[in-house]
Amino acid sequence: MPAHPIPRPEYPRPQFVRSDWLNLNGAWQFETDRGDSGLERGLLGRELRDEILVPFPPESELSGVGETDFLEAVWYRRSLTLPTAWAGRRVLLHFGAVDHDTTVWADGAEVARHRGGFTPFTADLGDIAGAGKEVVITVRARDPRSGPQARGKQAVRYANHDCNYTRVTGIWQTVWLEPVPDLHLRRPRITPDLAGSAFHLELPLSGNRPGYRVRAVLSDADGEVTRAEARADLDLTPRLHLPVPAGRRREWGPGDPHLYSLRIELLDAEGQVADSAGSYAGLRAVGLRGKAVVLNGRPVFQRLVLDQGWYPDGLMTAPTDEALVRDIELGMAAGFNGARLHQKVFEERFLYHADRLGYLVWGEFGDWGCETGGSSGDNQKPDASYVAQWLEALERDYSHPSVIGWCPLNETYQKLHDRVTQLDDVTRAMFLASKAMDTTRPVIDASGYAHRVAETDIYDAHNYEQDPAAFRELMAGLADGTPFVNSYEDGGPYSQPYRGQPYFVSEFGGIWWDPEAAAQSGQDRSLSWGYGERVRNEEEFHTRFAGLTEVLLRDRDMFGYCYTQLTDVFQEQNGIYRFDRSPKLDVARIRAAQLGSAAIEERDREQA
C-alpha cells in the first residue's frame, strides 16, 4: 500500500492517557460486502481488494472510498508488527466507535464483538499478539437496514432529505493499541466535590494482587496540590479522597475553566510503578434550585446552540482535531456558552476541548424520533441495546466537567396512553441508568415531545414558531405553571404533566436562510431546507433571531435555551455558519442579540 500521513494522530482518550501506544489510523485494506456473505465467501482468510483511510467512514470523501449507497457490511484488514519494547505486557486494541455491529479477529481468532455505532470497545489480544511478531487484524462492521438500530440523523433513504444526513458505516473514530501489565488500571471515575473542596476517585482494576496499592497526585500550575494512596489488594475499585486546600482551590466554569492535572499509579508490592496514566479534573458542581439550574451554586443562563457534529468531507468524523476546537470557538464567538451535542455521541476529544475552553455541553445519544411502531423502513426503534450503549457513553464521559446534564432520548413522538409500551420501558430504563451511573448531574428523560418519566429532573419543549409575537404568546405560561408542552396532532398528550421542574426551550429558531440557495431554488425543500418560511434577506434574519431570543431571555422562570443550529448540514440551511464553517451572517450581531440585550443585563443584575 502507498504510504499516507497518519490522520487524526492525537491521543484519542485525553482523560486517561498512557505514554505507550500505537495509532492505527491510516491505510487499511477494505472491501464492501453488500450481501453480508463475506464470512462464507472467505474474506476473513484473504487479502481485501480495496483500500480505505481510517478513521474516516467509507461514505466520506476523506476515506478515499466515497460510497454513499447502503452498505450492509464492510470489511477491514491490516497487518502490523508489535513493538519489541512491549515484551511481557498484554496488548489492548481500542476502537473509538464503529457503526454498527462489529466483530474483530486477530490472526483469524475472534477477539471482540460489539453492537452500537457511537460507543468505544476494546479487544484484549491476549496470547495472540507477541512483541516483535506480526499480527493480522480483521474487522467486519454490519450496518443492516432491518432490526433495531440507534443511528441518530443518518438517512434511511438513499439520498439526504429534510434534516437527515449521509449515512456512516464502519470505523469512524480512532483505532489504537496500547500495552498494559496483566494487572492494570481501568478507566477512573472522577467526581468533584465542591462543597467539600475535594475530588473523589474510583479506580477500577483488572484484578487484585497482594501488596498492591494505588496512588493519585493532584497538581496545578504551581506544582503538587495533594496526593493519596490506598490498598489495591482488597476490592476491584479502590477509592481515594483528594482534598484541595483553600489556597489552591479554583472552581471550573465558563470564563475560568481551570483544570487540575492528575497522575494515577498502580504500585506493586515493592512500591514500584506497575501501571500509570495521566488525567485531569475540574472542580465544579451542578444543582437545581427551584426552576434554576445552578453551576457552582450560582444560576448561569444557558445560551446553548444545537451542534450536529457533521463535516462535509468527514461526515461524523472531524477531519482534524483543530476542527473540533474550531466548532467550539465558533459557538462562543456567536455568544453561546454551550451546546447540545445533538444526536450522536461526540468523540471524546471534543469534550476535552470543551473542558479546557469552559463550554457547557449536554451529553446525548443518537436515537431521534424512535418509537415502538414507527414508519415503514425506519429501524430506529427502542430496545435493550439502547440502554447498553447509553451506559457505555455514560461510563466514557462521566468525568468531563463540561458535561452538565444528560439527555438519553430526543423527540420520541409516540402518544401517551394507559398501556405501557416498549418506548415507556426503554425511556424509564435509560433515565434510571443515567441516575444510577451519575448522581451528580440532572437528567432529562427525553428532549421534546414525550416526557414519559414523571420525575424527570428537567422539563423542556421544542417550538419552531417563527413569528416572535406568536412565540411570546406560546411561551407565556411558564410563570403560572402551564408552560408550552408539545402535544400530539389531535391535541392528545405525549408527556406526563409538568410538575414545576426547571424548564427550557431546548430547540427553537432554525431560521431558514442561505442566500445562494434562495436565489437558485426558491422554496424547493429538497435542495434547501429549514423551519417555516425562508427569510427574504439577512436583515430579516437578524430581526427574527433577536425577537425570538429576547422572548426567552426575558423569561425569569426559564434557565436557558438551545438555538437550532450552529452550522448548515447538507440541505439543512438553518445554521449560523455554512457547512464548511465559513461565515454567512454577521456573527457580531448574533452575539449582541444574546449578550447585549436589556433582558440579559437585567438577569445578570438580579443574579449578582
pLDDT digit string, tens, across residues 554-604: 999 999 999 999 999 999 999 999 999 999 999 999 999 999 866 665 665
Q: Are 9 and 27 in contact (CB under 8 A)?
A: no
Residue range 189-281 in CATH 3.10.129.10 = no
d(CA 561, CA 507) in angstroms, rounded, equals: 7
Q: Residue 607 — very low, low, confident or very high, per pLDDT cuts 50/70/90?
A: low
State the Rg of the chain over Cα: 25
Q: Residue 405 — very low, low, confident or very high, per pLDDT cuts 50/70/90?
A: very high
Identity at 494, one-letter amino acid code:
Y
Nearest to 249 by CA among 277, 281, 293, 215: 281
Q: What secondary structure letter does DSSP report for 161?
A: B
Q: Are 325 and 351 in contact (CB under 8 A)?
A: no
Q: Residue 117 — very low, low, confident or very high, per pLDDT cuts 50/70/90?
A: very high
At 178, list the grid cell: 496500547
**Residues 481-517: tens digit of each pLDDT:** 999 999 877 677 889 999 999 999 999 999 999 888 7
At 245, list the grid cell: 486546600
Cell 497487518 sits on residue: 79
Is the per-residue pLDDT at 373 higher than 70? no
How far is CA 524 from its chain centroid? 32
Q: Are 515 and 472 in contact (CB under 8 A)?
A: no
Nearest to 279 by CA among 8, 19, 9: 19
Contacts of 141 (CB under 8 A, 6+ apart): 73, 74, 75, 76, 98, 99, 100, 101, 102, 169, 170, 171
Report, as an integer, the average pLDDT of 363-368.
95
Largest pairwise CA distance in the chain: 75
Q: Residue 3 — very low, low, confident or very high, per pLDDT cuts 50/70/90?
A: low
Is the per-residue pLDDT at 521 higher than 60? no
**Residues 249-284: tens digit of each pLDDT:** 999 999 999 999 999 999 999 999 999 999 999 999
The CATH number for 297-607, chosen from 3.10.180.10, 3.20.20.80, 3.40.640.10, 3.40.50.620, is 3.20.20.80
Residue range 22-179 in CATH 3.30.70.1140 = no
H runs (alpha helix) in 1-118: none
Identity at 174, one-letter amino acid code:
T
Within this chain, domains 22-179 and 297-607 share the same CATH topology: no
**Residues 471-484: tens digit of each pLDDT:** 999 999 999 999 99
Q: Are 437 and 482 in contact (CB under 8 A)?
A: no
d(CA 297, CA 314) in angstroms, rounded, equals: 40
Contacts of 50 (CB under 8 A, 6+ apart): 29, 30, 31, 32, 65
Identity at 335, one-letter amino acid code:
G
Report, as an integer, the average pLDDT of 199-211.
98
What SS3 class is residue 528? coil
At 2, list the grid cell: 502507498
How far is CA 271 from its chain centroid? 39
**Residues 127-167: tens digit of each pLDDT:** 787 777 889 999 999 999 988 899 999 999 999 988 899 99
Domain boundaries, the chain: 22-179, 189-281, 297-607
Nearest to 442 by CA among 255, 289, 259: 289
Cell 449582541 sits on residue: 592
pLDDT score for 1: 45
| C-beta atoms surrounding 134 within 10 Å | 11
d(CA 73, CA 274) in angstroms, rounded, equals: 41
Give the HSE-up count for residue 125: Cα atoms under 13 Å, Cβ half-sphere: 29
Average pLDDT, the chain: 93
Identity at 144, one-letter amino acid code:
P
d(CA 506, CA 446) in angstroms, rounded, equals: 11
Task: Report in angstroms the alpha-carbon separations of 496 from 176, 202, 435, 460.
Answer: 45, 36, 19, 12
**Residues 438-453: tens digit of each pLDDT:** 999 999 999 998 999 9
At 395, list the grid cell: 461510563
Which neighbouring-strand residues pair with 141? Answer: 74, 102
How far is CA 137 from its chain centroid? 27
Tell me the residue length of the chain.
608
d(CA 231, CA 228) in angstroms, rounded, equals: 11
Report, as an integer, the average pLDDT of 353-366.
97
Share of the chain above pLDDT 70, in %: 95
Q: Residue 414 — very low, low, confident or very high, per pLDDT cuts 50/70/90?
A: confident
